[in-house]
Structure 1
C-alpha cells in the first residue's frame, strides 16, 4: 500500500496532468459555488427580471402603472417583517404538530424551528401607521378609504402578484432562446476483489453534462458538449489516462416545427399576455376605485387574461361601498328628523287631549307610529354597522376598528333640513313635556272638584307650587336661549340657503327647460302642458324665492314676538312668586291660569311650530339647489370613445387575433417532418494533454430526416378544434362589443331617466313639505268660541302621520335617485375608458360630459380598424371575391396564398353580404 501511495504522489505531479487537475478543481469549486447561492439571490434575480419585463410594457401613458412591486408597503397589514426566504415557523396546531416531531414511530426532522417561531400573522406594527385620531377612531372620507384599501386589500395585492407571475412566464420563454449551459462532475474510487478478476483499485474522475444548448428563432437546435475522463490505476501497471471529447449536433426543421411562425409562438403569446396583464392591472385599478366608492366591481385582475374579458354590470343598480354607507347614514338622519317631528306632534296631541279637543285614539295612533319609527331607526343603525364591518373587510381592515364616516360634498347637498334643527326640536319637545308635567302637579285634584256651576277651582299655595313656578322660570330662560340660538345661527343659515337658491336660479331654470325638451321627446303620451305647467314648471321655480322671503319675514316677526311673550311671562311669573303667598286660593288659581296655565303651553307649542316652519323653509330652498353634473353624450359616441380608450377592449381585440393566429400554429402539426441534421465530434489522442484535439480522432455527419404524415388523427382533431375555437372567439368578440354597447346604452338611458325622475322626486319633496305645513297649521289653530270641546276631526292624526311619512319617503327617494345618477356618472367614465386616476389611485372628476367634445376627439383619430359601421359598404380588394357557405372551395390553400400577398395592415372586407339560397339543403 505504501508503494501505491508513493506512486500516486509521483503520478500526480507528472507533465500536464497537474494543470488539468487544477482546472478541474476550479470548475468543481465554481459549480459548487453556483449551487450554494442563497435563496435570496434567486428571489432578487426573479424580481429584477419580472420588474424589467413589466417596465417594458408599462411605457404607454394610456395604461401606465404607478405601482408594480409585489412587496407590501411597511405600513400595510400584509407586510411581513421577517426574512422572505427564511421566515419563522407559524404557531402550529398542537395535535397536528406531533406529526412533525414523530411520524409513524420515526423521529422526524429536527430543524423546523431553527428560524424561530412567531404567532404574528399580520404585520405587528401596522396599526401604528393607521391614521387614527386621539380617541382611536379612523375617520374616513372617500379618498382616504381608497388609499387605505390599496394599501391593505388582499385582492389588490393578489392582482399585483398575478401581474408578476405573468412576467415570470415571459422570462421563461425568453430563456428558451438563450444559450443554456449545463455541467456536472463525478469522482469514484473503485476497488475490485480477487474473485472479481483480480485485485485492483481505480480512481476515476469524469466531467459529465457540460454542454451548451441553443435554440434559434427558425427552430434550429444546437447542442455542444464536452466529456472528459481522468483515470488513475493504483495497482497493476500503476498508469493514468486522460480522454476528452467535444461533440455537437445541429437540427433544423424545414416543415413541421420549423419557421419563426411556429417557433416564436409561445414567446409571442407570452409577450402579448404580459401586455394584456399590464393593461388589465390598470383596468383593475380603475374598477377598484369604483368598487370601494360605490361597490361596483368591473373585472378581475391580470390573472384573467387569455380570452375575451367579461363586461361588468351596467345600468341601474343600488350603491354600496362608501357611497352606500353614506346613503344609509343620510336616511338615518332623515329618520331622526322625522322622529323629532313625531315627538313634537305627539306632545301637541297629548295637550289637545288634556284640553278635550281630540280623542285618545288619535293620540295612541301617533304614539304607535313613533314607536314603530324608533324601532325602524334602531334596525337601520344596526344594518349600517353590519355594512360598515363588511366595508372594513373589503378594505383589508379588521371589523373591530372603530370607523367614523366623514360627509361627502355630494351628500351634503341632500341635508334638506340641517342636522342642527334636530337637537333644538328635541329640546323644545322635552320642555313641552316638562311644562305639562309641572302644570298637572300644581292643578287641583280633578276627583275633588264639584262639577257644579257655582264651584270655582282653588289653588293652595305651598312649597310645591313655589318650586314648580320657579322651574317654569328656568324653562322660560331655556326658551330664551333657544330663541337666541335661532336668531344668531338658524335664521341666518336659512337666509343663506334662500340666497343660494336665488344665485342658482338661472341655472336651474335652464336645466328645467332642457329636461322639458327631453321629456317631451321621451314619450308621446306626456302632454306638453303637463311638462311646462306641472311639476317641471319654470314659473313655479321663479316664484319660489319671493315666497320664501315672505315666509322668512313673517317668521322673523313671530320669533320677535316670542321673545316679548317670554319676557312678559317671566315677569308675571316673578310677580306671582312674590304675591302668591298673600293671595286667596281662588284668586291664586285665577291669576296662575292667566299667567301660566294658558300662555306657557300655547307659547311652547307655537314656538315648536315656528321652528318647524323655519326648517321647512330651509328644506324648500335646499331641495331646489341640489344639482347633478350634466352628462350630454349619445350612446353611439360613447361606444366610439370606449373603442379607443377601453383597455379591456384592446385586450379583447388582441385575444381575437391570438385565436386567429393559433389556426396556423396548430396547422403546422399536419405537415411532414423534414429536418436537416448536422452533427460531429472530435477527441484527443490520449496522453497527458486533455485538450490536444486531433481531426484524425473526429467525425462529421450531415443528412436529411423525413417522416411522412401518415398518422395525424390527433393533429387533425386539434386543427379542427382550433378552427371552431376561432369562430367561437370571433362570435365572442362581436358579442363583447354588443355587450359594451348594451351597457353604455343602458347606462345613458338610465341616467336620462334618473335625470327626469330626479326633478319629479324634487317636486314630490316640495309637495310633501306643503302637506306637513298644512297639517301643522291645522294643529296651531286656536279653539273657536261657542264650539264643543271636540275641535279636530277623526282624521287629524292620520293626516299628520301620512304627511310626515310622505316627507321621509320623498327625501329618501330624492336621495336614492341622486346617488344612483352620481354612481352611474362615475361608472360611465370607467365604461368609456376615459377615467383618470392620480398617483394615489383617486378619481379625477372630469366634470360635465360634452358629447361634441368627445365626438371631435374620436374623429381626429381616424377610422377604426375593426367593427366598422354596419351600414358602410366597401369595395373588395382586386382579386378577392366574397363567398357564402354555399360556394365550394376547390383549393383550401388558395386563401392563404392570397392573404400572404396582401400589403401589411391591409383590411379585407367583403363587398356585400350575400343571402343564403333558400333552395340549398341545410348542412347535415
Structure 2
C-alpha cells in the first residue's frame, strides 16, 4: 500500500523541479535585464539631466554648450560602444610584466577626423573671403592694402602616408580639390611632392634673415597647405576639440551624480533577495537520506527620514520541497521584521541628517557657476591667452577666488568624527539602508599633460614681432653699409663701424629668439585647441590688420619723403643740370606723391612766387623782419609756458607760418646762389666739382627744410587715422574715458554683483558656519529610541501568510 502512494507522490514531484527551474531562469533574466552597463549608464544620464534642468534657473550662469559625451567631430570622440570600448595600446613593459586577466577583443586608438573636415571647409571660406577683400581693397596712398600677416605653420617632415576615411579628397563636398602643392595637411599625411606654385612669403624669408638664422617659419616647397582660420573659428574649434572644456563638462556631470545618490538615500529603498538550494544525501549519510529543494526569499524596504529616523521592514520566507517521499512534502514559513530607530543626540535632527544632501546640492550650484565662469574665461584664453593657465584640466585665471569645496566625508583630522553620516545602529534582523547618505564618491582622472595657454592674438603678436625684427635688420644692414663707406672717407673710426655691426648681430639674435617664441606659441595654441602639433594652421590677422595698415601708411609716407628729398633731387645734382634744378624742385613741391592732397601742395606755388619776385636785398630784409617777429612770439610762448598758460591758436599758427616763410626765403637765396654757378672760375676740375656738389648740398638741405611742412601735415593727418580703441563699458561707464575713481567704483560694484567665484566664496562661508552644528553633534553621546517587532508563521507547516500576534514579540 505504501509503494503505490510513494510512487504517486514521486511522480507528482518529478514534474516540479523543471517548473521551479523555469521560474528561477525567468527571475534571473528579469534581474539581469536591469543590471547591465548600458542600463545604468543611461539611467545615470537621465537622472543627471533632470537634476541639471532643475538647477538651470538663472540667466547669469546658464548651462550652455553642455554635453557629457564628446562632439562627434572632436579629435578625442569615441565612435565605439562606450560600455565596451577597445583597449588602448599598452606600455610594452607593463604588458609583458603583468598578468592579463582580461582578453581584449580589439586594441586600437579611437578618434574622429571630423575636425579636419571642419578646418578644410573654413579654409576654403576664408581664402575666398581674403581674395575678395584683396580685390576690393582701396588703392589711395593713405589706404594701401598691406600683405596679410602670414602666421605660418611649422614645416612637416617629408614622408608618405595613407589616405584615411574622412580625409579631404577629390570630390568630397566642402573640401578643396587636392592639387600638387595645394594639398591641405593631415596629421597622418605629409606630402613629398613638388610645389608648382610660388613659395609663400614669410617673416623669415628676407635676405637678412635667411642668411643668418637657422630657424624657418615658412613652409617648405611641396609641404601641405596650412588651414586658414580666424578668431571666431578658433573659439568654435576649441568648444568642440578642447580637452579642458570637455573635462569641465564631465566635472559638471560628476558633481551632479552625488546629488542623485543623496536624494535616493532619503527615498524608500526596496530590495529583494532570492536563493535556491538543492540538497541531496544518500541513505547512509550521517544526516540521513535527503532529497529536497530550498527556496529562500527576502523582500523589504528601508526609509530614512529627515529627522534621522530609520525605518526598516523585512519579509523573509523559506519554502522546502521534500522529494525524499518521507515526511511532509512542502514546508513554508515566513517572518516579518520591523525596526524604527530615532536618534535623539548624536546623528539625530534635520541639521545632521540633511547635511550631506545640502552640501552636495550646494556643491552642484558651485560647479554650475564655475562652469559658467570657465566658459567666459575660455574665450579670453583662446583669444588673448596669458593671465592664467589651464592646468589640471581646469582653466584657473590669475587672481580668481578659487573655492575648495568642503567634503562632508573628510572627517576632523584623524578623530574619526564625520559630520552628517548616520552612525551604525545595531539591529538584529535588518541590514540597514542600502545607500547611506554622505557615503558617495567619485573617481578623479588626473590630466598627465595639461594644455598650456598661448592665445590667438598672442601668437599673432609673436609673428608681428618677427616682422619688426626683420625690418630692423634690414635698416641696420643699410646703416652698416653707410658706416663702412663713411669710414673709408676717414670721417669715423673702425670702432664705430664695429659698433654698428654689433647692433646688427644683436638684431639677428633677437630675430632668432622671436622665431623660437613664435614657434613655441603656435605649438601651444594648437595644444590649446586640441590639435596635433604637426598639423599646420594659419591664423587670419583681421584683428591686427587695421594697425598694420596704419603702420604701412607711415612707412609709405617716409618712403615718399625719401624719394622727394633724395632720389628725385639726385637726378639734378650734376653740373649739366643747373638750369633744370629750379623746375625740377618746383615739380616736387607741387606734384610729388608727398604733397598730393595737402594744403602745402595747393599753396606752395603762390608762396614761392612771392619770394621769387623779390630782390636779394628785399629777401634779406624780409627774412630779418620775420626772424624778429618769430623771436618775439617764441619769447611770449616761453613766458606763457612758465605761467602754465598757452598762446592762442592764431599766434601758434603765426609761429608756424613765420618758420615756413623763413625756410622758403632762405631756400630761394641758396638756390639763386647755386644758379649763379660761382664755381665756374675755379681752374682745378676736382675742386670745381667739389664746390659744385657742396653748393648743391646747401640747396638740398634748404629744400628739405622747406618741404618738411608737407611731411608734418601728412603726419598730423595720419595721427587721426589710428583705429579707435574698443569701448570698455561696465554698467554704462566707459572705463577708458571715465575718471579713475568712477571707473574703480563701477568695476567694484559690478564685480560684487556678477563675480561668480565671489558668489561661491561667499556661499562657502555659510557652509563652514553650518558645519559648526554638525561637528558639535558628532561630539554628543548616543541616545536612541528604538522599536523592534518580529512576527512569524507556524513552523513545520505550509502556511506562509498565517501571521498571528501570539507568535510576535
The two structures have a TM-score, normalised by structure 2, of: 0.57
Most deviating of 287-296 and 126-135: 126-135
**1:393 is matched with which residue?**
527
**1:675 is matched with which residue?**
784
CA distance change for structure 1 residues 682 and 284 in 2, over 3 Å: closer, same or farther?
A: same
**2:472 is matched with which residue?**
338
CA distance change for structure 1 residues 249 and 640 in 2, over 3 Å: closer, same or farther?
A: same
Of 37, 46, 64, which residue of structure 2 is paired with 1:48? 46
> Would you say the 8 A contact 1:210–1:225 is kept in 2?
yes
**1:274 is matched with which residue?**
364
1:753-778 residue CA offsets vs partner (Å, 9 max, x unmatched): xxxxxxxxxxxxxxxxxxxxxxxxxx
Give me the whole-angstrom Cα distance separating, in 1, the residues matched to 2:802 and 2:406.
Answer: 55
Give me the whole-angstrom Cα distance separating, in 1, the residues matched to 2:373 and 2:39.
Answer: 33
**2:79 is matched with which residue?**
81
**1:216 is matched with which residue?**
305
**1:468 is matched with which residue?**
none
Instruction: List aligned pairs for 1:479-558, cutoff 5 A.
Output: none
Matched, 1:11 2:108: no
Instruction: List aligned pairs for 1:604-753, cutoff 5 A.
Output: 617-618=714-715, 621-622=718-719, 625=722, 628=725, 629-632=736-739, 633-685=742-794, 691-696=800-805, 698-700=807-809
Instruction: List aligned pairs for 1:150-165, cutoff 5 A.
Output: 150-165=239-254
CA distance change for structure 1 residues 331 and 97 in 2, over 3 Å: closer, same or farther?
A: closer
**1:379 is matched with which residue?**
513
In structure 1, the gaps of 5 or more residues are: 309-318, 437-479, 496-528, 554-588, 701-924
> Would you say the 8 A contact 1:191–1:199 is kept in 2?
no
Instruction: List aligned pairs for 1:354-433, cutoff 5 A.
Output: 362-363=496-497, 365-407=499-541, 409=543, 412-413=546-547, 417-418=551-552, 421=555
- Alpha-carbon offset, residue 28 of structure 1: 4.4
- Alpha-carbon offset, residue 79 of structure 1: 1.3
Of 282, 293, 300, which residue of structure 2 is paired with 1:204? 293
Give me the whole-angstrom Cα distance separating, in 1, the residues matched to 2:405 and 2:650.
Answer: 58
Of 105, 114, 117, which residue of structure 2 is paired with 1:128? 117
> Would you say the 8 A contact 1:682–1:693 is kept in 2?
no
CA distance change for structure 1 residues 371 and 217 in 2, over 3 Å: closer, same or farther?
A: same
CA distance change for structure 1 residues 626 and 358 in 2, over 3 Å: closer, same or farther?
A: farther
SS at match of 1:77: coil
- Alpha-carbon offset, residue 166 of structure 1: 0.9
**1:912 is matched with which residue?**
none
Instruction: List aligned pairs for 1:307-346, cutoff 5 A.
Output: 321-346=455-480
1:361-407 residue CA offsets vs partner (Å, 9 max, x unmatched): 65554344334323322332222222222232233222223233333
**1:284 is matched with which residue?**
374
- Alpha-carbon offset, residue 664 of structure 1: 0.9
- Alpha-carbon offset, residue 169 of structure 1: 1.1
Decide which structure has greater helix share: 1
- Alpha-carbon offset, residue 192 of structure 1: 2.5
**1:243 is matched with which residue?**
333
Give me the whole-angstrom Cα distance separating, in 2, the residues matched to 1:169 and 1:642.
Answer: 31
**1:187 is matched with which residue?**
276
> Would you say the 8 A contact 1:186–1:208 is kept in 2?
yes
CA distance change for structure 1 residues 540 and 24 in 2, over 3 Å: closer, same or farther?
A: farther
**1:137 is matched with which residue?**
226
> Would you say the 8 A contact 1:340–1:422 is kept in 2?
no
> Would you say the 8 A contact 2:9–2:325 is kept in 1?
no
1:802-832 residue CA offsets vs partner (Å, 9 max, x unmatched): xxxxxxxxxxxxxxxxxxxxxxxxxxxxxxx
SS at match of 2:538: strand
- Alpha-carbon offset, residue 212 of structure 1: 1.2
> Would you say the 8 A contact 1:220–1:251 is kept in 2?
yes
- Alpha-carbon offset, residue 85 of structure 1: 1.2
Give me the whole-angstrom Cα distance separating, in 2, the residues matched to 1:644 and 1:251.
Answer: 46
**1:33 is matched with which residue?**
33
Give me the whole-angstrom Cα distance separating, in 2, the residues matched to 1:151 and 1:642.
Answer: 30
SS at match of 1:46: helix
SS at match of 1:693: coil
- Alpha-carbon offset, residue 123 of structure 1: 3.0
**2:671 is matched with which residue?**
none
CA distance change for structure 1 residues 190 and 325 in 2, over 3 Å: closer, same or farther?
A: same
CA distance change for structure 1 residues 166 and 8 in 2, over 3 Å: closer, same or farther?
A: farther
> Would you say the 8 A contact 2:239–2:245 is kept in 1?
yes
SS at match of 1:682: strand
Give me the whole-angstrom Cα distance separating, in 2, the residues matched to 1:264 and 1:659.
Answer: 15
The two structures have a TM-score, normalised by structure 1, of: 0.51
1:164-196 residue CA offsets vs partner (Å, 9 max, x unmatched): 111011111011011112222222222234554
> Would you say the 8 A contact 1:163–1:303 is kept in 2?
no
1:717-755 residue CA offsets vs partner (Å, 9 max, x unmatched): xxxxxxxxxxxxxxxxxxxxxxxxxxxxxxxxxxxxxxx
CA distance change for structure 1 residues 128 and 89 in 2, over 3 Å: closer, same or farther?
A: same
CA distance change for structure 1 residues 327 and 229 in 2, over 3 Å: closer, same or farther?
A: same
SS at match of 2:299: strand
Give me the whole-angstrom Cα distance separating, in 1, the residues matched to 2:519 and 2:649.
Answer: 39
SS at match of 2:551: coil
Give me the whole-angstrom Cα distance separating, in 2, the residues matched to 1:379 and 1:75.
Answer: 36
Give me the whole-angstrom Cα distance separating, in 2, the residues matched to 1:400 and 1:370.
Answer: 33
Matched, 1:170 2:259: yes
Give me the whole-angstrom Cα distance separating, in 2, the residues matched to 1:539 and 1:390.
Answer: 55
Q: How many residues align?
A: 567
Give me the whole-angstrom Cα distance separating, in 2, the residues matched to 1:545 and 1:12.
Answer: 124
- Alpha-carbon offset, residue 87 of structure 1: 1.0
SS at match of 2:552: coil
Give me the whole-angstrom Cα distance separating, in 2, the residues matched to 1:263 and 1:399.
Answer: 52
1:420-447 residue CA offsets vs partner (Å, 9 max, x unmatched): 9489969x99xx99xx9xxxxxxxxxxx
SS at match of 2:787: strand
Give me the whole-angstrom Cα distance separating, in 1, the residues matched to 2:114 and 2:658.
Answer: 61
Matched, 1:111 2:103: yes
> Would you say the 8 A contact 1:333–1:419 is kept in 2?
no
1:640-693 residue CA offsets vs partner (Å, 9 max, x unmatched): 332222111211121111111111112223334333322323333468865533
Of 282, 287, 299, which residue of structure 1 is paired with 2:396? 299
CA distance change for structure 1 residues 267 and 5 in 2, over 3 Å: closer, same or farther?
A: farther
1:684-709 residue CA offsets vs partner (Å, 9 max, x unmatched): 34688655333246415xxxxxxxxx
CA distance change for structure 1 residues 24 and 334 in 2, over 3 Å: closer, same or farther?
A: closer
| RMSD, aligned CA | 5.7
Give me the whole-angstrom Cα distance separating, in 2, the residues matched to 1:484 and 1:383.
Answer: 42
